[in-house]
Amino acid sequence: MRIMTSLCTLACIAAATLACTPKEPAKYLALAFDDGPNLTTESAMLDVLEKYDVPATFFVIGSNINDDTAENMKRAVKMGCEIGNHSFTHSQMTRLDEDQVKEEIEATSDMIEKITGTRPKFFRPPYINVKPEMYDWIDLTFICGKGCNDWVASVGKEDRLKGILESAEPGAIYLLHDFEGNEATVEALDEAIPMLLEQGYTFVTLSQLFEKQKHTPDGHTMYTVVPDERK
């Protein structure tokens, strides 16, 4: 009986030790697509995300939103994705004054909130073109990200795939596009997502990425990799 008890105790100690063994911290990536919504390439992108059951963030252009394209925004949200603000007219915002910039942002955020019920928290400036005052004028977190020149038609699927895989690092945000006709990015991701999952990455939305990394967004920073502050 005493032997049984000590064996049991040993087993318990062993189990506790195993549970306490430090393991690799979880590695997170955030896919983020610009220039939607649309009912062509974006639908194909959503199909790929659905296939692997991974979320992403969609930076939409206000002037692209109508009753039809709004359906894809609703579908994305239903799948666990997040919607971000990519301005209303996709202009070079450095050429706009304070009122014009604020109108671009508010009009787009109003539409997103009306359709999804949630006001966006993140902003990706068109052409990543910013001037310092914009950080004071816009009350959203600025996002850049790692790209693979996927807006250039001559950059094919294989080069995009290579760029996506090489850019992977914990906390990274991707800068990709789902504008109409950009199928090469959809095809590249259809191969990249399972490979990155295999490497131990977990895909999350931008809100989740900041939460998981325990990093509070700074109003004057444009993020490409979110610092890991889990300690």
What residues are annotated to the active site?
34, 177
* Closest CB 184 distance from Zn ion, rounded Å: 16
* Closest CB 186 distance from Zn ion, rounded Å: 17
**Applying CB under 5 A, which part among 26-34, 62-70, 154-162, 203-211 lies near Zn ion?**
26-34
What are the E-state strand segments in 19-90?
A: 27-30, 32-36, 57-60, 82-85
Query: Mask: binding to Zn ion, 119-148, rule CB under 5 A, as x and -?
Result: -------x----------------------
**Applying CB under 5 A, which part among 30-38, 134-142, 153-161, 181-189 lies near Zn ion?**
30-38
Instruction: Based on the shown chain and the rule CB under 5 A, indicate whether residue 34 belongs to the binding site for Zn ion.
Output: yes
Instruction: Report DSSP letters for 169-212, one per residue.
Output: -TTEEB-EE--TT-HHHHHHHHHHHHHHHHTTEEE--HHHHHHH
Strand order, beta sheet including 122-123: 176-177, 32-36, 57-60, 82-85, 122-123, 141-143, 222-223
- Chain centroid, CA 88 distance in Å: 20
Total of residues contacting Zn ion (CB under 5 A): 3
Task: Choose, by CB under 5 A, the member of 32, 33, 35, 142 that binds Zn ion.
Answer: 35
Is there a contact between 30 and 56 (Cβ–Cβ < 8 Å)? yes
**Applying CB under 5 A, which part among 118-126, 161-169, 192-200, 203-211 lies near Zn ion?**
118-126
Interface residues toward Zn ion, by CB under 5 A = 34-35, 126
